[in-house]
Amino acid sequence: MKTASLTEALIYTEDKPSISLLLKTDTTKELRIALKKGQLMKEHKAPYPIIVEIFEGEIEFGVNGEQKILKKGALIALDANVPHDLNGLQDSIVRLSISIADTVERVEDVAKL
């Protein structure tokens, strides 16, 4: 059994979204993105399918150029290689589920853009 918390040791950084690996399972890596109001993750693609959950806050989530407002409790699943972006409309905690074959470093690099 593995456990983690989306709210413990939560750190928002001023210059870019904060990425933390919470759990690693046999098939996925569960990440937390702490996204302050106004912070962006510019358009990018994931090499494997992903699931995004808005645990707290509200974001604007762009998919193929179409913007969707996602609020606390919302889930969205994307296939591999679908262009998407995130914009914090409020301070937000986002849970990101990625493939075990994907890397945390790739997500961190997206946050630096």
At 1-16, the pLDDT tens digits run 999 999 999 999 999 9
Per-residue pLDDT band for 113 (boundaries 50, 70, 90) equals low
Residue range 19-37: average pLDDT?
Answer: 97
pLDDT of residue 25: 95
Spacing of C-alpha 62 from chain mean position = 13
pLDDT score, position 6: 95
pTM of the model: 0.94
Going along the chain from its start, the domains and CATH numbers come out as 18-112 (2.60.120.10)
CB 75, CB 102: distance < 8 Å: no
Predicted pLDDT at 65: 83
Contact 46, 52 (CB under 8 A): no
pLDDT at 64: 87
Q: Token digits for 88?
A: 């914090």
Span 99-106, mean pLDDT?
A: 96
Question: How many whole angstroms separate alpha carbon 42 and alpha carbon 5?
Answer: 26
pLDDT tens string 34-80: 999 999 999 999 999 999 999 999 999 999 889 999 999 999 999 99
